[in-house]
Amino acid sequence: MNCLVLSVDYRLAPETPFPGPMEDAQDALHWLHGEAQQLGIDKRRIAVAGQSAGGAMAACLALMTRDEGEIQLAFQLLEAPRLNDQIGEGEESNPFTGEFVWTRQSSAYCRTAYLGAGNSSPYASALRATDVEGLAPTFVAVGALDLFVDECVEYCGRLLRAGVPTELIVYPGCFHGFQRAAEAQVTMRSHRDSLNALKKALVG
């Protein structure tokens, strides 16, 4: 499968908090769509994708794009995305997640850096969206020990109830960023799963 990949060098928080990074992503998508003929790509087969913070931004960009109504995305591929800026504590927290690599403390710091206080926009945190109908078909992959697994499951459930074609894979025993173990069988499997999902969405 031939596929053009545009990697967005968006501005970073805390120097540039929300909405700056999302505006960069939106501008890049508009540029790509506008230059589709020159780049030799099909406007009907444009997907957004990302991992971790990139996955969070891809999910939010899909919402922004749907609401704007100018571009029809073909697919969104989200690997271990942070979809909920509200960190569960106490009885709300999953006792098996967030213990390795990416912790609740890490997420709390990043939330403050990116959002400050009191920002509830779904374009900053996709799970805050009250309406997910009409979003592009979605693939979500996350580890069972990942801090974000519960919000991924919840978001996929909402997508399914809204009639959005959705696939979710949870990798047992895997924490956030497990693909750093590049030679691990589960890492290679996860790469295959994501590529197969993308190929199925764009090629059929």
**101: in domain:** yes
pLDDT of residue 41: 94
d(CA 98, CA 177): 12
Identified catalytic residue from 107, 176, 190, 194: 176
pLDDT of residue 89: 56
CA atoms in the 13 A half-sphere facing the CB of 127: 19
The question of whether 176 is a catalytic residue gets the answer yes
In this prediction, residue 204 has a pLDDT band, given cuts at 50, 70 and 90, of: confident
**166: in domain:** yes
Identified catalytic residue from 85, 146, 150, 194: 146
**Is 3 within 8 Å of 77 (Cβ atoms)?**
no
**53: in domain:** yes
| Mean pLDDT along residues 4-9 | 96
Q: Which domain holds residue 51?
A: 45-202
SS3 24: helix
**5: in domain:** no
The question of whether 146 is a catalytic residue gets the answer yes
**128: in domain:** yes
In this prediction, residue 90 has a pLDDT band, given cuts at 50, 70 and 90, of: low
Distance of CA 126 to the CA centre of its chain: 9
Q: What is the CATH number of the domain that holds 94?
A: 3.40.50.1820
> Which range, of 57-71, 75-89, 180-194, averages the lowest pLDDT?
75-89
How many domains are there within the chain?
1
Identified catalytic residue from 24, 30, 33, 52: 52
pLDDT of residue 83: 96
d(CA 116, CA 181): 33
Residue 117 has pLDDT above 90, yes or no: no
d(CA 171, CA 189): 10
**33: in domain:** no
d(CA 89, CA 186): 29
Nearest to 124 by CA among 136, 141, 111: 111
Q: What would the pLDDT profile of 134-191 be if each residue is shown by its tens digit? A: 999 999 999 999 999 999 999 999 999 999 999 999 999 999 999 999 999 999 999 9
